[in-house]
Chains A and B, each alone.
Chain A
């Protein structure tokens, strides 16, 4: 079946530190991959996506590359800000069945 595993949090970083949140997946076929972000008290927003192997999704300084050989889609940012504090969810989309989400990773960035 389809599943997503992401690193457990919480992750606490100082401002301007480098961020990596690991995400690996198991899927049949060739799903699209997503990172969603949830700021406190809000719903989930799409952060970035990649629809095929070797695609790199990017947005707001965040990047993730769809690695078919390692079944991974790790989220990275070179220099985090306090405003990046949120919960991040990795997800895969098999198109005809519901999206599958990881459990989320809480990021706290301190000044």
Chain B
């Protein structure tokens, strides 16, 4: 049981490039979410999904897109990377009250 996996672990992008951060879970949980973590800011919710085909915006959705075609996968797309998107990104899957986090992707935008 791998839990929540994220790829890549590290990524460097140039301003304006696009990319997709991958997130997968093998726990069959309906609820998944994406957070970003910046120094001194704690965790901020980007997007979340309550099941396949259903997504909603969180606190800081601008510049990011998500889709949920299967229960297992919840990719996060950066449309046109900006230096302000330099951060550590965490994906999570939730079973009722308890939330399980992936190991994170450290993204640097130059």
Contact = CB atoms under 8 A, between A and B. Distances in A.
A84 B36 CA distance: 24
Interface residues of A, number: 20
Contact of B103 (A32, A43, A89): A43
Contacts of B97: 32, 34, 49, 51, 93, 95
Contacts of B43: 44, 89, 101, 104
A75 to B, nearest CB: 16
Interface string B21-35: 000000000000100
B90 interface: yes
Interface size class of B (residues with CB under 8 A): 10 to 19
Interface in A46-104: 46, 49, 51, 89, 91, 93, 95, 98-99, 101-104
Which of B41, B43, B58 neighbours the largest number of chain A CB atoms within 10 Å of its CB?
B43
Given A46-B99, A89-B42, A104-B42, A99 B90 contact: no
A26 interface: no
A45 B40 contact: no
Given A43-B103, A103-B42, A98 B48 contact: yes
Given A42-B103, A43-B101, 19 more contacts: A34-B98, A34-B99, A42-B104, A44-B43, A45-B101, A46-B100, A49-B97, A51-B97, A91-B99, A93-B99, A95-B96, A95-B97, A98-B45, A98-B58, A99-B33, A99-B94, A101-B42, A102-B42, A104-B42
Interface of B: 33, 40-43, 45, 48, 58, 90, 94, 96-104
11 contacts: A34-B99, A42-B103, A43-B90, A44-B101, A49-B98, A89-B43, A91-B99, A95-B96, A98-B58, A101-B43, A103-B42
